[in-house]
Structures are given as structure tokens and as C-alpha cells.
Structure 1
């Protein structure tokens, strides 16, 4: 049950690569159990039983997430998987292996223009997805000591997990990765292979504990074990001396290190780099690694002379903490809650003085813009987050109170329809692009640039704490959230619907685009009717329609399974309208149309998860253990019999 519950939590997070890492760890544990078991056949049966039952229990527990996800995947950008270029981005470059021992190998990535960072040429022009692979020289030394452990099966299992994680983390630098991504299910759904290294890091952490165990028991294991420990200690001292020697050399000749870094850095970004600072940081990292490696090797060397054998491992753990804690604190950007959890002025303005209607917003600036040309109070990454929110960008989460028509999702978490609308909106130029945004119910446009086209006017100019101001534009021509049309344009494909919606001559105020509806195309009349929204909630929208003739109520909300429509209380069919939105056929006269969200897949998943949870609770309490529910029932029956017998004697 515990195994199934852990799997359910992992499935609910739905991170494909980390789910694979989790499966590897479980397979490693199962392999270790099998190798340690004296009865391999019985052990294999138990592994299969626990695996199958546990996974079934985990799938049932996670059904509340799985079923809606299965409904979403065919409609999501990620549903078709990624191409190899996207899958393999942010792979672990071979030089990142040096970062395992040397902290801050590439410098500080948390600056706006990355002036103190030089690793772009190894990570496709950006910082590494895993900003640091650093485990430390002390951890590496103890991991090597684990090879002297008598726990051969555990050590080999952990080593296999580590090598597998490195093999997969290499991504595009692994000649077999392309074939694996094309033929192994699940790999193409995830991105950033460097995340595979997390499984190896966990395996190495366990190997560190084995290395500490070796120091506790090597004296009792004879001369061969002692010689192995001494060999590791002397090797560590030699490597530490080499590292400190390199530090001393570059300390006296810093220009040599600067020149080497400059030759390895991306030449397109060389002008913005502060190479003296980068070289100084790298040289300090070499010194720190050399000192900690030398100190830990010395402690291992003298461990045999300690009166108390536990003293050396305790000191080594202290040295390990001294190496890891300061180095890892430096790779965390200095941000506080105030950098993120604040109400930007644009939200305050739109809430108090914005349009008195239901509308959407479009941020026209690229969320991936460079910040090298922006004046800012400082160059920290925290300020970048601050600027992004001040300028109304939804990149770090849609801000409270705002509804965006289209936006860029760096993690491809949007639907295909949304992604296509975003791409089409920014491919159209000038007035055509503004007209298209208006058809998406976009009233407000945000940008730090000028919009030199008619049909927009500036509502406000707001500060961003930089030399750039955020301009809030009002788009004059906008389709309301709900409106009535009497005309229909019938198309035969989804692509054709988008093309027609994008054309400037499409009369969106009189006609609606319907796909494969079986309805013939007919022109619409102006003033054929009107509609207004009476109530707008997340799961319920109520509209009132006054139609002079039969037609369609168009609601510019996403067409998605789970929504049901009712015209005057009678269920009506929801049609896919204007490529990505909804429409309901309405007869002439006054009517009320209600849209209600009742996601069948979610409720089915919730029911399964509740049944699974109830089954787990009953199974735990019904177990035959000393504290199980079954034992409690047996105890109560025995007490009842004793009381009954006692009452009989008294009578």
C-alpha cells in the first residue's frame, strides 16, 4: 500500500523524466532485494506481486489526475510529443562532470545579461537547466571509498543507477539518445535530459553513506581493506595538491585563465562578459575544492589512528556540510516573497479604472526578450522577475484578476488551439493583427513599445522601475465575450476555420464559423439580435439573448469537453465556433442560455480515487498484524465471551 501511495504521488506530479527516474530507483531496489535473497524464486514472485498490486493501487489513487490528463493530452501541445531538438535541449554536457566536483564552474547565471556567466556555449546559449551539478569533492571521495564496502550487491546496484542516469542525462551528447527517444515510450513527452542526473545524485548520496561505513569497519576487515583506504586517501591528497597548484598558478597569472575562458565562451556574447570576475570566481572554486578534498583525504588517512573510530566519519560529515551548504546557497537566486507576491500597478489600475465589461488582455512583448539594453536598479535575477510582473507578463503565472487572450507558455502547458492562436496573432502584422486580437475578446494591450496603428489609444503609462514604461492600450474594435449572430460560414476543417478567422474581411459581428456542422453557409444581418452576460463564473456562465430571428449565441470561451449548454432549461448542443470557441443555436425571441461545466472524466477519476483510498484504509486496518482492525475485532469478541461467561456465573 505504501508503495502504491508513493507511486500515486509521483504520477500526480506528472513529470515524465522524474517518473522514469523513480521507476529506475524502484527497479534498483527490487534488483538489490533479489540479489540479497537466498530464495530467488520466492523473492521474484514477491517483487512481481508488490509491483503489480502496488502499481494498480497507485493508478487508482491517482485516477483523479490521470483521467482528466488523458482527456487533455490529445488537445495539448505536448500530446504529440516533441521533436528531438526540443527533447534534447538542456542536455548534460561532458564538461558538466567537472561541475560535480568544482562549484560555480560557469560563474553566476543570476544576472540579467549573464555578465558573470560563461557556460552558454555548452547549453545552447543559455544557463544550464540544472544550474548546478555540484556534489562536492568530499562526496566524491566517500563514493570512491564505497567500492571497498562488503555490500557488493548494493554498491553495484547504486553504481549501475549512477551510470544509467549519466548515460541518459547526456541527451544530445549521447549517440543513442535519438533512437531511444523515437522508440521508447515516454521519453518524447519530457524535456531537458539533465534532469536524469537527479537519480544519479540520489544513488551517489547512498554511496557516500557506504563510504562512511567503510571507515567504521575497515580496521576489522584486515590489511587489504586498510591498504585500500590508504590508497584512496593518498590519491585524494595528490589530486588536492594538483588543484591547489592550479589555483596558485592562475592566481599569479590570471590573464591565462581569462583567455582560456574567453576562448571557450560564446563569441556572440563575449562583449557583455566580465571575464576578470568570472576567472576570479572559477579560481576561488578551484581553491575551495582543493582545500576540502585535501582536508577530507587527510581525515581518511589518519582515521586509523583515532582512539574512537566514529570520530573520523563525524568530522567528515561536518566537512561535507561545510563544502556543500555555502556553495549550494550561492546557486539560489536571492529573492524574497516581496519579489513575487505583490500586486503590480497594472493590476491595480485595470481593477479600478479598466473597462467595465468582460474582456481579455494581451501582452505584446516577448517574455524571452533580452535585458541587456534595459536600465535597472540592479542586475539580479530577482529584478527580472519583478520587471516581468510589473509589465503584466504571465510567464511566471497568470496574475490574479487578469484574463489573457493568448500568451506564450515556456513549458507548452497550453492547448494546441491556444498555441495556434498565439502564433497566428503574432504573425499577422499591423492592423490585421490588431483586428485578429479583437476577435478574441482582447480589449487591453500591454507593451513597453509604441503601437503606431489606428484603432488603439493609450489608457495609461505605468512605471516598471526601469527606463521603460508600460503602456496600457485600449483596442477600439473588440468582439464582446458573448454576442448573437444570424449568419453562418460552414468550413470543412479545423485549419480552414483558423484561416477564415484570420482574414480581415470576415464579418465576425454578423457570422459565425462552424466546422463540419452540416449547416449551410448563409449571410448574417446587422441588428439581428443582441446578447449579454448575466453571470460569469469559473464553472457557470449565464447569458440572455434577444433574437429577432433564429441564429447563434457565440461565447468566446474555450471549446472543451465537460461544458453543457441549456436554452431555457433544455439541453442544447455546443458547437465549435470560430476555431476555438463555443456557439449554441437559439430560436427567435428572448431566451436564457446557461453554460455549466461538469467534467465527466474528473468526477469518474475522483470516484475511483476515493474508492482506492477507502480500499487502502480498510486494507491497513483489516490486516492481521497486532494493530490491525481484524485483531481488534478478535479482541472484542474474546472480551464479549469473557463478559458473557462472567455474567452466567453471577446468575
Structure 2
């Protein structure tokens, strides 16, 4: 029994313990002191989700619509926690109670460890690969920014591949069950771009297995396994059916769907190319994988003491405060991305092991993982490899829905440790062969040559990117600092690679035990990654309750909150990229990567020009509220221009929740309608595109009064006194998939008017109008979602039990 514990249980226990302790120690302020990271995107999310969270707390119900952003949008794009969903509890158990989002790193290490064990890699090497996977700067920069869903999706990649690998290696039932669980969890985080990259990687792995099965004349078995894995993936998808179908239902109406105004952009069925490829990793910038400050680090980063820039500023007599401000926030990054929080660094040691993987790994996995690594790099280069990526964008199904293609580096940094660990393991197995030492030295030479090449390429460039508008004397000093950062990190990487090479050399020449050598390499790896990560996520990144600080009500907020009516607020300070306003008020703006396409059209074609024109006049002392007709129709009662009380401007011309226009202007196209909208008197006029109805009907103008009686995120109740039957316009965003109108107890058709608002034809007399958001896709799929999740869990337990019995039977035999 003691033998079994030491050989079978103890290594895995120590591995899991190391993963847990590393996360706990690095993030001790979060675990022990209750502090949190100041994650910008999470604060944006919290602002946008506040109405939904408050509604759940007060009613116990999930709202499926929120009015807080962009005039209104489906809530399942922001936050959704369906009743009966067990995934949150499951994750809490699997991550041993670690707080979100740092629990993702622990899970990622555990999943990578299991995957590498599946490749028959010894535990101590698998631990090394797991550390490298979780602690690259891609994950830490994502944490710092608040891209929690992305981190979780990436950290689930190894579990998905582990399930696929098990299925193709005589553990079909367990492999399919693990795949189903992993797909369930990855889709829960709703980061479909990472899921798309994961699918590409799994297909690549599958092609490798197809070659093997074909050579062994086992195509029928391959087909059966593939079908089983597809069934498992579908099962995982069904565990998110309510969420997924709702998102897919929404997709055509978002900026990632078909364009409403195709003549305004080059892409009619997805994102605009310039927008999609704005964050494209530079081809040469790939060298940051091995030299972190190769391109200067972050867009703004502190320079070391006595830097060339500091000396230059002092010599020019610059004010000490200005000098310090520049030095602490120097524009060190000189790549071609708009900005960056830091470099994507995979660890010099792991890049060295990756080179050894190319030389030592079994041919099948070497070819598969090397090809996938190159493919992921090519995807990350985006517009810098336009002939390749623009072709994929135009022809690969669904690919034109995604942006920030540099995100593909998350897959790169998964593949590098896998091939690195495979290479190290196979080198250790062949350590007795004379050729192993020669091949190892070849690997050292290749890695050193790669770094020398990187430096030569860098010095062939000018170090000037992202540094325009500076005087020549400061620009020259800044270039010198950028060169120094590159050289400093070059020597740093060479040190870690050299130390690793020495340890492996001692191992190969039997001067050091294998376990001690690998452990030492692992510690060097942690020191290396820790040193770089601390540049971007350190003690200063943690604070007590950043939400409380960020959302503390300003005098301006307090003034608007005195009004308990129903209205919207326009924050003219970067309105369409901030969600702080949404924390307290229904906002004209917001922060989301998949806003409704009609609203985006409105922003670009009408709202932005209208807003800029108003601001220009206001600066001259003329507050022309009549000129902001589209803002008025969106019921914009307050304009916010700062944090002080006198920065709040009340708009007396806001149209209110609903009204009866005097004239209905027929239009034939979206283009015509939005052009008319820019000059429309929205209180008395409305547009209606009859082409949206099969009968091409026209709508009558009515008259009367209408008022809002009660409101909730997904329910609005109005009372109307209609003098003449006709159209009433509501200052609510039109979305056809889910909103239902009940007029005097009977369902009525909701018409799209004014390009994106709701309209109802109301009968004469006293009328009660109730609008409810009850999307059929969601309502009918919740029970399937819940049942499937329990089925997957049961399936996994059965798979583990059967696999355990088979393992015991083999030992007995």
C-alpha cells in the first residue's frame, strides 16, 4: 500500500498542491485579504449588469432584457444565471473553492497536467508544462484587463483536447464524457472566438489521428470515435442550449450580423475588416514570445532610473514633475498595434523546450502541434499577413464575426508547452543514446541562433513606432531606451536558456539526477515568468473593493438620482465606450462588443454628428435642445458632462416614454429611413418602412395621450387615452425576437418605426398596453439545459467508474 501511495498517488497530490499553492501565494491579497484586482472590463461589466443584478436580488427572477445600455438590449449578452444551472457549483468544487477569476489558472494547470499525463509524460515534466501554460503573460495581462471569460475559455482548451485524446486511445467512454464536460464549461463562458480557435485545433489534432488510423487500416473505428466525440460535444452544447440559442438568435441583429446599410461598409455579413483586424500581432513582434521587451513592453511603461530619456529631459531643463510623469508612463511600445497592456511572453525556457520538442517529440505529435502553432501565429498576424487572413475572413464560415485576432496567441501558448513537454519527455527516454547529446546541442544552437536573429532584425528597424510628435532630442533618447529594454531582456532570456541548457546537460551526462534537474528547471521557469508578470500585475493591481471606488456616486449622479421618472442619460465623455453611467441610469451609450447593428448605424450616421453639433453650440452658450431630435426620441432627459452638479444639463425637449406622432412618413429602404431620421421632427413625425411587412401596409396617424405606469427590465405597462386610432411610438429599442405587446388583453403586432423604435397601432378609447420580453428560444430550452447538465455529470461518473474497473482488471492480469 505504501508503494502504491508513493508511486501512484503522491506525485499527483503534490502536483495539484503545487498548482493550488502557486495561485494562492501569487494572489494572496485576493485569497487572504479580500482584495480585488482593478479590472477595467469587469468594472464595465458591473456597470452594464447592475440593473439585472438588482432585479434578481429584489425579485429572485432573471431578467432577459436590460434598458441600461444602448437604449436597451438582450440581457443574455451581458449576464445570465439560469435557475437550475449547476455549472457554477461544479466549477467551485473543481477549483477547490478558489475565488473567481484566479480559479481559472488553477483549473488550467490541472487540465494541462491531465492532458500531458494522457500523452504518457511523467508527472514532474507534466507539472512543468502546466506551470508554463497558466503563467504566461497572455493570461496575466488578460486578468489585469478583466478578460475573465477569455482566460477561462483558454484554460479549458487542455481539458477538451484531453477528452479527445483519451477517446482516440482506447478510453472512448471516458474521453467522450470529459469532452462533453469541457465543452459544457467552455461554452458557459460564452467566448465563442476562443471556442472557434479550439475547434480549429481539435480538427488539426483529428487529422493527425486520421493519418494514424488510415495507416493501420482502422478507418471504421476512427469514424465511430469521431461520431461519439461529436455527440459528446453536442451534449456539451445542449448543456448551454438556452444561452446559445438566444445568442445565435440575436447574432443577425448585432454588429456581427448582416449589415443594414451595406453601402456604408465593405463587409455585409460580419464585422468590418479594419475593425476586425485592428489588433493584429506584428510578424516580427512574435519574438516577444522569447524576449518580453522585444517591442518595448506595454504602451506606457516605467523606464529604469537614469534612462536616456530622463537624462535628456533634465539636460533640457524640464520640470521635475513633468520629467517623472514621462518616465513613469513612457511610450516604450513601438509595435504597430493601437496599444497593448504588455508583451505576449511564453517564457524563454519553454521556447527552448519547444525547440527541443521539434527535435525530439514523436513525429506525429511534432508535425501536428508544430503545424497548429504556425497556424495560430499566422492567425494572430491578421492584417500583417493579409493574403492569408483576409481570405479566411471572406470565406471561412463564421470567422468574420470575430475581432482582435491577436487572441489566437492564447492557443499558441497552449501548444508550445504541450510540444515542449513532449520533447523533454522523449529526450529523457532517449538520454542513453549517443545521438541524444548531439541533437540536444543542436537545439541549444538553434535557440541561440533564434535570439541572435531576433536582435539583428530589431536593430534593422528604427525603434520609432508609436512615438510621433516628440522633439528630435527626446525621440533619439527614447529610441535608445527602447534598445536598452530589448538588450536587457535579451541577456535575461539568454541567462534562463543557458541555465536550463546546463541543467539538461548535467542530466544527460549523469552528473545530476533527472528529478532534481527537472525540478530546478521548473523553479527557473517560475522565477522567469514571475519576474515578467510582476511588471504588469503586482501589489499595486490589488485594492479593497474597486467597485465601491469606481461607482461612488458623484454630485452629478446624485442630482440626476433625485428624478425618479423614466428617462435616459447621455454622458458626452466617451459615451459609447463606457458603462459607468449604466450603473445608475438608462444610458444612451454603453460598453459591449456586440451591440445591435441598427443602434451602431444610428451612432455612426446620426447620434455622433447630432451630439457633436450640440456640444459645439453649447460651448458657445447656445443649448439647442431642439436640434437633438434623435436623442429626444430616445427620451434623453439628462446630458452629463462631468462629475460636478453643474455638469448636469436637463433636456426639456425629451419626447418621454411614448407619444402619438401627427404624420407617418413612408420609406422604402433602410438607407432612406436613416437619412430622413437625421432631419426628422421626432415628436410630430415618424418613419415607417412598409417593406418589413409582407402586405406592404401603411400605418395611420393617431392622437391622444399615453403614459408609463410601471416598469421592470423586461416588462413595461402603459395607460393611454386614444382620441383617434393610430400609431403610438415608444422610446424603446425594437427587437423582434421576444418582445410581445398585449393591448387590452390581446396580443398586437409591434412595428419597427424611426429605424429602431417600437410602434403600436392603438384603438380608440382607454387602452392598457403591456410589453413583455419572453423570447421563445430561451423559455423553451431552459429545462433541456438543466437536464443535459446532470446527464453529463452522470456520464462522467460512469466513465470514471468503468475506467477504474478496467485499470484494476489489467493490474490483476
Bin of the TM-score, shorter chain as denominator length: 0.7 to 0.9
Larger Rg: 1
TM-superposed CA distance for 1:600, in Å, is 0.7
Report the counterpart of residue 636 of structure 1 in structure 2: none
Report the counterpart of residue 540 of structure 1 in structure 2: 715
Report the counterpart of residue 86 of structure 1 in structure 2: 275
Report the counterpart of residue 264 of structure 1 in structure 2: 464
Report the counterpart of residue 330 of structure 2 in structure 1: 116
Secondary structure, counterpart of 1:513 in structure 2: strand
Residues in 2 aligned to 1:88 and 1:312: alpha-carbon distance in whole angstroms? 43
Report the counterpart of residue 773 of structure 2 in structure 1: 597
Residues in 1 aligned to 2:600 and 2:631: alpha-carbon distance in whole angstroms? 14
Is 1:136 equivalent to 2:342 in the alignment? no
| Cα separation, partners in 2 of 1:211 and 1:607, compared to 1, 3 Å | same
Report the counterpart of residue 382 of structure 2 in structure 1: 171
Kindly tell me the number of residue pairs found equivalent between the two proteins. 562
Select between 478-487 and 10-19 the one with higher mean Cα deviation: 10-19
Select between 539-548 and 432-441 the one with higher mean Cα deviation: 432-441
Report the counterpart of residue 286 of structure 2 in structure 1: 97
Residues in 2 aligned to 1:624 and 1:340: alpha-carbon distance in whole angstroms? 42
| Cα separation, partners in 2 of 1:350 and 1:590, compared to 1, 3 Å | farther
**Residues 574 and 583, structure 1, Cα contact 8 Å, conserved in 2:** yes
Residues in 1 aligned to 2:561 and 2:401: alpha-carbon distance in whole angstroms? 43
Secondary structure, counterpart of 1:135 in structure 2: coil
Aligned-CA RMSD value: 3.5
Q: Deviations over 1:579-631 (max 9, x none)?
A: 21112222232222111111112123324424533554565677796599xxx
Report the counterpart of residue 434 of structure 1 in structure 2: 628
Report the counterpart of residue 487 of structure 2 in structure 1: 283
**Residues 148 and 214, structure 1, Cα contact 8 Å, conserved in 2:** no
| Cα separation, partners in 2 of 1:100 and 1:405, compared to 1, 3 Å | same
| Cα separation, partners in 2 of 1:486 and 1:410, compared to 1, 3 Å | closer
Alignment counterpart, residue 440 of structure 2, candidates 206, 225, 229: 229
Report the counterpart of residue 127 of structure 1 in structure 2: 339
Report the counterpart of residue 482 of structure 1 in structure 2: 658
Is 1:322 equivalent to 2:527 in the alignment? yes
Which blocks of at least 5 consecutive residues in structure 1 are unaligned? 248-256, 368-392, 449-459, 463-469, 629-651
Residue pairs, 1:347-362, within 5 angstroms:
349-350=557-558, 353-362=561-570
Report the counterpart of residue 554 of structure 1 in structure 2: 729
Residues in 1 aligned to 2:799 and 2:449: alpha-carbon distance in whole angstroms? 58
| Cα separation, partners in 2 of 1:68 and 1:353, compared to 1, 3 Å | closer
**Residues 298 and 343, structure 2, Cα contact 8 Å, conserved in 1:** no
Q: Deviations over 1:85-128 (max 9, x none)?
A: 333322221221221111122233246999523445522xx224
TM-superposed CA distance for 1:399, in Å, is 3.3
| Cα separation, partners in 2 of 1:234 and 1:404, compared to 1, 3 Å | closer
Residues in 2 aligned to 1:219 and 1:551: alpha-carbon distance in whole angstroms? 86
| Cα separation, partners in 2 of 1:627 and 1:366, compared to 1, 3 Å | closer
Report the counterpart of residue 126 of structure 2 in structure 1: none
Which blocks of at least 5 consecutive residues in structure 2 are unaligned? 1-176, 258-268, 302-324, 615-623, 805-813
Residues in 1 aligned to 2:523 and 2:600: alpha-carbon distance in whole angstroms? 51
Alignment counterpart, residue 511 of structure 2, candidates 303, 306, 311: 306
Report the counterpart of residue 70 of structure 2 in structure 1: none
| Cα separation, partners in 2 of 1:582 and 1:495, compared to 1, 3 Å | same
Residues in 2 aligned to 1:260 and 1:354: alpha-carbon distance in whole angstroms? 62
TM-superposed CA distance for 1:354, in Å, is 4.0
Is 1:515 equivalent to 2:689 in the alignment? yes
Residues in 1 aligned to 2:339 and 2:415: alpha-carbon distance in whole angstroms? 25
| Cα separation, partners in 2 of 1:150 and 1:282, compared to 1, 3 Å | closer
TM-superposed CA distance for 1:202, in Å, is 1.0
TM-superposed CA distance for 1:398, in Å, is 5.7
| Cα separation, partners in 2 of 1:500 and 1:260, compared to 1, 3 Å | same
* Larger helix share, 1 or 2: 2
Residues in 2 aligned to 1:13 and 1:183: alpha-carbon distance in whole angstroms? 27
| Cα separation, partners in 2 of 1:243 and 1:150, compared to 1, 3 Å | closer
Secondary structure, counterpart of 1:330 in structure 2: coil
TM-superposed CA distance for 1:511, in Å, is 4.3
Report the counterpart of residue 241 of structure 2 in structure 1: 63
**Residues 700 and 727, structure 2, Cα contact 8 Å, conserved in 1:** no
Q: Deviations over 1:340-395 (max 9, x none)?
A: 5532434873476543421101122336xxxxxxxxxxxxxxxxxxxxxxxxx752
Residues in 2 aligned to 1:239 and 1:572: alpha-carbon distance in whole angstroms? 69
TM-superposed CA distance for 1:477, in Å, is 0.8
TM-superposed CA distance for 1:577, in Å, is 2.5
Report the counterpart of residue 203 of structure 2 in structure 1: 27
| Cα separation, partners in 2 of 1:406 and 1:361, compared to 1, 3 Å | same
Residues in 1 aligned to 2:667 and 2:360: alpha-carbon distance in whole angstroms? 71
**Residues 542 and 593, structure 1, Cα contact 8 Å, conserved in 2:** yes
Q: Which has the higher contact order (CA 8 A, sep 6+)?
A: 2
Secondary structure, counterpart of 1:302 in structure 2: helix
Q: Deviations over 1:53-84 (max 9, x none)?
A: 22332333332123212321221111121233
**Residues 576 and 582, structure 1, Cα contact 8 Å, conserved in 2:** yes
